[in-house]
Amino acid sequence: MTTKRKTIKDIAKESGFSLSTVSLVLNNHPRISPATRERVMAVVKKYNFFPNSAARGLASKSSRTLSVVIPNLTRVFSDIYLGEIISGIYERATSLGYKILLDIATAQFVKSQEYTKLLASRRADGMLFIASDIHANYLEVFEDSPFKFLLVNHFFPGKKLNYVSVDYAASARLAAEHLLGLGHRKIGLIAGTNTHTGLKFRDEFLQLCKQWPAGAAKAIWVDGGEEWSQRGGYAAAAKLIAQEPGLTAIMAANDRLAIGAMRWLADNKRAVPEDISVMGVDDIQLAAFVNPGLSTIRHDLHQVGIEACNRMLQLIKGEIEECSDLLPTSLVVRGSTARMRGK
Inside any domain, residue 173: yes
Q: Which residues on neighbouring strands pair with residue 38, listed in sequence order?
A: none
Q: At what angle do helices 168-181 and 196-211 cross, to 10 degrees?
A: 30
**Would you state the torsion angle of the CA atoms of residues 109, 168, 205, 275, taken in this order, to the nearest 10 degrees?**
-100
Inside any domain, residue 336: no
Domain residues for the domain of 268 are: 168-299
Inside any domain, residue 172: yes
Residue 183 to residue 173: CA distance in whole angstroms: 15
Q: C-alpha angle with apex 159: 154 to 162, nearest 5 degrees?
A: 55
Inside any domain, residue 277: yes
Do 48 and 69 fall within a single domain?
no
Q: Which residues on neighbouring strands pair with residue 126, listed in sequence order?
A: 66
Residue 209 to residue 220: CA distance in whole angstroms: 10
Q: Write out pLDDT tens, residues 46-99.
A: 877 655 554 444 445 678 899 898 876 666 666 788 889 999 999 999 999 999
**Residues with Cβ within 8 Å of residue 268, at least 6 apart in sequence:** 241
What pLDDT does 41 receive? 85
Choice between 290 and 129, residue whose per-residue pLDDT is larger: 290
SS3 of residue 67 by DSSP: strand
Residue type, 329: T
Choice between 233 and 1, residue whose per-residue pLDDT is larger: 233
Q: Write out pLDDT tens, residues 259-315.
A: 999 999 999 999 999 999 999 999 999 999 999 999 999 999 999 999 999 999 999
According to the per-residue pLDDT averaged within each range, which of 80-84, 110-114, 325-329 is highest?
Answer: 325-329
Residue 9 to residue 5: CA distance in whole angstroms: 11
Do 25 and 47 fall within a single domain?
yes
Residue 88 to residue 35: CA distance in whole angstroms: 36
Residue 105 to residue 114: CA distance in whole angstroms: 9
Q: What's the number of domains the chain is made of?
A: 3
Average pLDDT, the chain: 84
**Would you state the torsion angle of the CA atoms of residues 165, 169, 172, 176, taken in this order, to the nearest 10 degrees?**
-150
Range list of β-strands (E), 23-176: 65-70, 99-104, 126-129, 149-152, 163-166
Place 331 in a pLDDT band, splitting at 50, 70 and 90.
very high
Q: What is the DSSP letter of 294?
A: P
pLDDT at 120 over 80: no
Inside any domain, residue 2: no
pLDDT at 12 over 90: no
Residue type, 61: K
Do 191 and 293 fall within a single domain?
yes
CATH number for the domain spanning 38: value is 1.10.260.40
Inside any domain, residue 3: no
Do 219 and 238 fall within a single domain?
yes
pTM of the model: 0.75
**Would you state the torsion angle of the CA atoms of residues 259, 263, 266, 270, taken in this order, to the nearest 10 degrees?**
-60
Q: Write out pLDDT tens, residues 207-260.
A: 888 888 777 788 899 987 777 889 999 999 999 999 999 999 999 999 999 999
Helix (H) or strand (E) holding 269: none
Inside any domain, residue 306: yes
Do 162 and 309 fall within a single domain?
yes
Do 185 and 288 fall within a single domain?
yes
CATH number for the domain spanning 208: value is 3.40.50.2300
Q: Count of CB atoms within 10 A of residue 109's CB?
A: 18
Do 197 and 282 fall within a single domain?
yes
Do 177 and 285 fall within a single domain?
yes
Residue 28 to residue 97: CA distance in whole angstroms: 9
Residue 14 to residue 100: CA distance in whole angstroms: 33
What pLDDT does 138 receive? 61
What pLDDT does 57 receive? 47
Residue 13 to residue 19: CA distance in whole angstroms: 8
Do 190 and 249 fall within a single domain?
yes
Do 133 and 21 fall within a single domain?
no
What pLDDT does 55 receive? 45
Do 289 and 172 fall within a single domain?
yes
